[in-house]
Structure 1
Amino acid sequence: MTDQLGDSYDVVVVGGGAAGLNGALMLARSRRSVVVVDAGEPRNAPADGVHGLLGREGTPPAELLARGRDEVRSYGGHVVPGRVDAVAFADDGFAVTLADGRAVRARRLLVATGLVDELPAVPGLRERWGREVLHCPYCHGYEVRDRAVGVLAGGPMSVHQALLFRQLTDDVTYFANGAEPAADETERLAARGIRIVAGQVAAVEVADDRLTGVRLADGTVVARDALVVAPRMVARVGFLRAIGLHPVEHPSGAGEHLAADPTGRTDVHGVWVAGNSADLAAQVGAAAAAGAMAGAQINADLVAEETRLAVDAYRDPVTAGSGAREGAAVPGERPHGR
């Protein structure tokens, strides 16, 4: 089912993953007009199943999202395929323009576009991403338990990843990739029985449509069943530039995110963010919870605005009738008292 994009909504949700759909669900259940604009590029698309999600353990990602879209629609929300190209301020909130030229107005905006994984420049790595090339022990580690696992150095979390995967298998090899670990890191790896390979990694080996090993620059092949990498994660929020929102470096050093308070509120009034765009490490359950929080906060913010306008009308019906939206928060500014 494909919904038609209306002219305006209380809330436009950009991104139809767990965060965006759960935010839309909360808003639709609050009887808000809401549309989810989804580019159809979920980060976890290559994965066989979603893990660590209570009640839905192992559910294929596409199935989980399909259920979410149906639930949003069941409460009157719209879900529209498309890619948001730009957002600008408008008198009543925001003007949202899609890549195909369609446009829609929104009083509030929920950004849930997720992130892009920038993988190390190793031939063959991208093709196995989400299969035998992994990054998260909690998402897919159990599936490679007791197997031969390699960890490719390349980020601030690489040694930490190796130690976490050591919990799942006795056979972990750390590929230093030409950069020698610090003395304390070497000690920790050695203490846990993790072998360190110093040579530069040239490519991954694949046979019968499966990763079989890691090839070094000198031609040596180290047999492995899976390879763990630390991608640089960058929030997909370039379309927010015109309203002054830009990604910033995450405190972990793992990439760039859109900064927000614990409820998802950004520095631009009327814009919230949820999921991996804000929290690079969030799994599906955490992303969905953040979406629910943001949805509830957006509804409360709209209620506060509507109540303020209603009080103005109650006090002075004539003035309020001539300018019903006077006193509403100006897009891009914090309301008074915040």
Structure 2
Amino acid sequence: MTDENPSRSVDVLVVGGGAAGLSAGLTLARARRDVLLVDAGAPRNAPAHGVHNFLTRDGTAPRELLRLGAEEVRRYGGEVLTGTATSAVRDERGFTVRTTLGEVRARRLVVTTGLVDELPDVPGLAEQWGRGVVHCPYCHGYEVADQPLGVLGLTAASGHQALLFTQWSRDVVYFTHTGGELDPGRREELLARGVRVVDDRVVEVLTSGDRLSGVRLAGGEVLERSVLVVGAPVRVSSPLLESLGLRTEPVVFGGAVLGEHYPSGPGGGTDVPGLHLAGNVTDPQAQVVTAAGAGLVAAAAVNLGLLAEDTAADVALHRARGAAGSAVA
């Protein structure tokens, strides 16, 4: 789309250019569908040094992975543009989507816009996000192995997170912070695994140079740590999905509400016909590789729906031609 051509029609519009969106775009382009992908250019994992647990791409910088993915989509004829989709309406022909690039008509819509981590308001914490402050043991555990770790209690699930990180370090301190009283069983498990439990609130994250060096507690004590683990609540907010009537639901793990997501079913299907979701917008626990897989599954479901629609139209045309031929005969 350009200023001279502010609108266009496609088979599928994919909104969100992370692993899920690019995977969906690649699958659809290879299926010879006319696909347009629009991405705002603000990936959740941008602060991280590398993507992990992605076969053949382990350690690749997040933006480099996205660049490579966009190249692959374009190789098969898909279009990838930088922009934002703001709202949409649906009719019997599909969707009319308003974007910052112009209006797009699409027979199907795939949304993969991800989520936002709501970091706790602790001075110095946000500046270390993705480096000295991490959240996922499978994403970052190997890289922080054998270092002095701190785990910040935010919800009832934070104790489970501390337990997980003992797989990578035997020097783990759990700060109850605002996470409430630890379940006695969980406290016993942590103590048995060598975790020191500190019943105090972290009021500042300290750095030395550009590296995290410790935390200051409300009681004034300073504890040296190299890494702070923060399982921040997650939030999704999509004016685009809201305009189509979708509403968020809570994400619950171990009885604790960890945030919200937009629910979806098999193939990322939703209550809105023709609208599919993939990645963190619907599955907050999806890592890069599983988000990519979900994008493929959603794309396959979309292509199947389009094929059924195209086949029904061809059958109707075939019958009409047959009826017309019989009438002439």
Q: How does the TM-score come out when normalised to structure 2?
A: 0.93
Corresponding residue number in structure 1 for 2:111: 111
Secondary structure in structure 2 of the residue aligned to 1:254: strand
Instruction: Tell me how far apart the structure 2 counterparts of residues 153 and 162 of structure 1 sit (CA, whole Å).
Output: 9
Quick check: 2:8–2:103 contact (8 Å CA) kept in 1? Answer: yes
Q: Which residue does the alignment assign to 1:59?
A: 60
- Helix, strand or coil at the partner of 2:214: strand
Q: Does 1:128 align with 2:128?
A: yes
Which position in structure 2 is the counterpart of 1:143?
A: 143
Partner of 1:283: 287
Point out where structure 2 has 5 or more consecutive residues left out of the alignment: 325-329
1:175/1:319 CA distance change after superposition, 3 Å? farther
1:238·1:246 contact (CA, 8 Å) conserved in 2?
no
Q: Which residue of 1 aligns with 2:327?
A: none
Deviation at 1:246, TM superposition (A): 1.6
Inter-partner Cα distance in structure 2 for 1:306 and 1:235: 34
Greater mean deviation of Cα atoms: 83-92 or 32-41: 83-92
Name the structure 1 match of 2:172: 172
Q: Is the 8 A contact 1:313 1:319 kept in 2?
A: no
| Cα distance in 2, alignment partners of residues 309 and 136 from structure 1 | 48
In the TM superposition, what whole-angstrom CA distance separates every residue of 1:276-314 from its partner, at most 9, and x where no partner exists? 111111111100000011111100100001111111122
SS at match of 1:86: strand
| Percent identity of paired positions between Structure 1 and Structure 2 | 50
Contact 2:261 2:283 in 1 (8 A): yes
* Aligned equivalent of 1:269: 273
Q: Secondary structure at the match of 1:268?
A: coil
Provide closer, same or farther for how the CA distance between residues 60 and 5 of structure 1 changes in structure 2, counting only shifts above 3 A: farther
Q: Contact conserved, 2:156 with 2:182, CA < 8 A, in 1?
A: no
* 1:263 CA drift (Å): 1.4
Is residue 195 of structure 2 the alignment partner of residue 209 of structure 1?
no
Residue 329 of structure 1 is matched in structure 2 by none
For 1:102, give the aligned amino acid. Answer: G
Deviation at 1:193, TM superposition (A): 1.0
Letter in 1 for 2:268: G
Check the 8 A contact 2:6/2:101 in 1, yes or no: no
Amino acid at match of 2:122: V
Contact 1:37 1:84 in 2 (8 A): yes
Deviation at 1:254, TM superposition (A): 1.7
Rounded Cα–Cα distance in structure 2 between residues aligned with 1:296 and 1:67: 21
Deviation at 1:157, TM superposition (A): 2.1
- Are positions 1:230 and 2:231 aligned together? yes
Whether the 8 Å CA contact 1:237–1:247 is kept in 2: the answer is: no
Q: Does the alignment pair 1:296 with 2:297?
A: no
In the alignment, the residues of structure 2 paired with residue 39 and residue 282 of structure 1 have an alpha-carbon distance, to the nearest angstrom, of: 20
- Measure, in 2, the Cα distance between the counterparts of 1:21 and 1:207: 38
Q: Which contiguous aligned blocks of 4+ residues in structure 1 show a shift greater than 4 angstroms? A: 317-320
What stretches of structure 1 of length at least 5 have no aligned partner? 321-338
Aligned to 1:263, the other structure's residue is in SS state: helix
Aligned residue pairs total: 318
TM-score (structure 1 length as normaliser): 0.90
- Superposed counterparts of 1:3-14, under 5 Å: 7-14=8-15
Secondary structure of 2:127 counterpart = helix
